[in-house]
Chain A
Amino acid sequence: MTVRRFRLSERCFASLLILPVFLAISLVVLFPLAYSLWMSFADVNLLRATGPALELLGLRIPLFRYVGLQNYLRLLSDPLYWDSFGRTAYFVGAFVLETTVVGLGMALVLHERFVGRPVMRSLLLIPWSLSRVVVGLLWVGLLDVEFGALNGFLYKAGLIDRYISFLKSGFSALNVLVSVYMWNQAPFATLLLLAGMQSIPIELYMAAEADGAGYWQRLRYVTLPALRGILFLVLVVSTVNGFLMLDLIYVLTMGGPGNETTTISWLGFQTAFQFFKFGPGTAILYTLTVFCLLLTVLYQKVMFRKLEAEEA
Chain B
Amino acid sequence: MKPTTRRSFLRTTGLLGASAVLADGFFGETRADKPINFAGWVFKPDTVKDYVDVYNQKFGGQVKYEAIPWAQYHPTMETRAFGGEVFDVMYCAHNFRERWYANGLIRSLDDLPGIDEMKKKMNPQNLESLKAKDGKLAGLPYFTSLFVLVYNEPMLQQAGIKAPAKSWDELVEHSLKLKRDKVSDYPFLPNWNVSPSGTMPQFMTDAFSEGANVFDAKNRVIVDQEPGVARAMERWQKVWKAELVNPEVLTKTSSTDTHRLFWTGRYAYHTNHSYYLKTIAGEPENSKLAPKKAKMTMYPGTGQTYMWTDSYTINAKTKTLDDAWKLARFLGGNLAGDWYVQRQWCLISGLDNPYPEMYEHPEIIASYDRWVDLKLLRKQYEKGRVIAAYKEPWYSEYDVKAVPIVHNMIRGGTTVPQGLKELVKLQKSLE
Contacts and interface: CB of A to CB of B under 8 A. Distances in A.
Contacts of B195: 254
B223 to A, nearest CB: 18
A168 B248 contact: yes
B16 interface: no
B31 interface: no
A270 interface: yes
Contacts of B71: 250
A35 to B, nearest CB: 13
B316 to A, nearest CB: 10
A272 B250 CA distance: 24
Interface string B372-412: 00000000000000000000000011001101100110010
What DSSP secondary structure best describes chain A's contact surface? Answer: loop
A253 interface: yes
Nearest to B401: A80
Interface in B201-258: 246-248, 250-251, 253
Interface in A232-268: 250-261
Given A167-B251, A274-B396, A258 B99 contact: no
Interface in A146-179: 146-147, 162, 165-169, 173
Nearest to B71: A250
A47 B103 contact: yes
B253 A254 contact: yes
A124 interface: no
Contacts of B82: 46-47, 49
Interface in B245-275: 246-248, 250-251, 253, 260-261, 264, 266
A179 to B, nearest CB: 15
B185 interface: yes
A273 interface: yes
Given A250-B253, A258-B404, A47 B396 contact: no
Contacts of A258: 250, 403-404, 407-408, 411, 413
Contact of B396 (A45, A255, A272, A275): A275
B396 A168 contact: no
A252 B194 CA distance: 11
Contacts of B246: 145, 165
Contacts of B248: 145, 165-168
Interface stretch (B17-25, B73-81, B334-342): B73-81
A263 B230 CA distance: 31
Contacts of A273: 72, 75
Contacts of A82: none
B78 A47 contact: yes
B104 interface: yes
B401 to A, nearest CB: 8
A48 B397 contact: no
Nearest to A253: B251
A276 interface: yes
Contacts of B266: 146
Contact of A47 (B105, B247, B264, B400): B105
B194 A168 contact: no
Contacts of A272: 75
B219 to A, nearest CB: 17
B143 interface: no
B55 interface: no
A168 B245 CA distance: 11
A1 B261 CA distance: 92
Nearest to B266: A146
A101 to B, nearest CB: 27
A169 B247 CA distance: 8
A46 B250 contact: no
Contacts of A173: 251
B251 A252 contact: yes
A253 B400 contact: no
Nearest to B78: A46
A133 to B, nearest CB: 10
A83 to B, nearest CB: 10
B79 A46 contact: yes
Contacts of A146: 260-261, 264, 266
Nearest to A144: B248
A276 B253 contact: no
Interface in B172-215: 185, 193-196
Nearest to B264: A146
Contacts of B404: 256, 258-260
Contacts of A260: 404
Contacts of A270: 400
Interface of B: 71-72, 75, 78-79, 81-82, 99-100, 103-105, 185, 193-196, 246-248, 250-251, 253, 260-261, 264, 266, 396-397, 400-401, 403-404, 407-408, 411, 413
Interface of A: 45-49, 80, 145-147, 162, 165-169, 173, 250-261, 270, 272-277
7 contacts: A146-B260, A167-B248, A250-B71, A256-B193, A256-B251, A274-B196, A276-B75
